[in-house]
Amino acid sequence: MSDTINLTLKVWRQPNASTPGKFVEYPAKNIPTDCSFLEMLDIVNETLVAQNIEPVAFDHDCREGICGMCSLVINGVAHGPEKATTTCQLHMRHFKDGDTVYVEPWRAVAFPLIKDLVVDRTAFERIQQAGGYISARNGSAPDSNSVPIPKQNADCAMDAAACIGCGACVAACPNSSAMLFVSAKVSHLALLPQGQPERTRRAVKMVKTMDAEGFGNCTNYYECEAVCPAEIKSSFISMLNREYVFAAAREAVSEI
């Protein structure tokens, strides 16, 4: 029965942002192949606690692949080797007995490290606050289908809305650009009638906040699209490039 595997982990340990970090090697013994990557880390942490070693800090929440809280760059790939899969849904059966696995935090100036594998992703919240919302009317709910939306737009908006805001796009981008995230949020609302009132302001302000937060510039590597667990397409970035220029032009004209 080969239901368990043994791995060698090289985990990034860093007590806080101001202390330099380093890789520390930990054996991961008798790991059931049915457990997820995070459950594997739980098992390793149990053994660390038993040895009186500080457990490895990592982000996690729903462990169902929908909350966007888990992160980790596993052997150089954000969320690990499986396509369209968050780290919490990555199962150990995708690793071989005896593998050495490097585990690193998201690396980007805009995502400062908090501890070990945990980074601060509140820059995404600030981008959302700058324009990732709509003005909804108060009162009773409108009749269903009272606002017609072309099927194509509804589908496309849903594809963009699938973004869980995990930040893998930033982690994978050699420039730490947040364009895939911002493009998903801007496109999602720009495609729907409810998103029209703030459309111009939204594109301009969200891009401005993105730049101010210290994310890099998109140079079309498409690494983001390759690692995105929600399969957000890079064509949304193209859509944002168009959206932003028209919005900036509309804003410039309105100021004259």
Partner 1 sequence: MKAIISFYQSSIGKKWIVALTGLVLVGFVTGHMIGNLQVFLGHEALNRYAAFLQGLGELLWVIRGVLAACIIVHIITTVLLWVQNNAAKPQKYAVNNPQAGSIGARTMIVSGLIIICFLVFHILHFTALSIHPEWKLWEDPDGRHDVYSLVIAGFRNPLESLFYLVGVFLLATHLSHGIQSFIQTLGLRSRKIAEPLTTASPYLAGLLFLGYASIPVGVLLAQHLNLPILQPLAH
The residues of the shown chain that bind partner 1, judged by CB under 8 A, are 10, 23, 73, 75-77, 102, 104, 107-110, 172-177, 179, 207-208, 210-211, 214-223, 225-227, 234-245, 248, 251-252, 255
Nearest approach, Cβ of 76 to partner 1 (angstroms)? 3
Q: Which of 88, 76, 1 is nearest to 42 (CA)?
A: 88
- Which residue lies nearer to partner 1 by CB, 141 or 256? 256
Task: Considering the complex, state which of residue 49 and residue 154 has its C-beta at the smaller distance from partner 1.
Answer: 154
For partner 1, which is the closer residue by CB, 30 or 217?
A: 217
CB of 232 to partner 1, least distance (A): 13
What's the min distance (Å) between Cβ of 172 and partner 1? 7
- Provide, rounded to whole angstroms, the least separation between the CB of residue 137 and partner 1: 31
Q: How far is the CB of 1 from partner 1 (least distance, A)?
A: 31
**Cβ nearer to partner 1, comparing 47 with 128:** 128
Q: Cβ closer to partner 1: 30 or 235?
A: 235
Secondary structure of 88-128 as H, E, C letters: HHCEHHHCCCCCEEEEECCCCCCCCEEECCEECCHHHHHHH
Collapsing DSSP to helix, strand or coil, 152 comes out as helix
Of 11, 25, 2, nearest in space to 97 by CA: 2
| 3-class secondary structure, 195 | helix
Closest C-alpha to 33, from 7, 61, 58: 7
Question: Which residues, other chains included, contact 204 with Cβ-Cβ below 8 Å and sequence gap of 6+?
Answer: 131, 244, 247, 248, 251
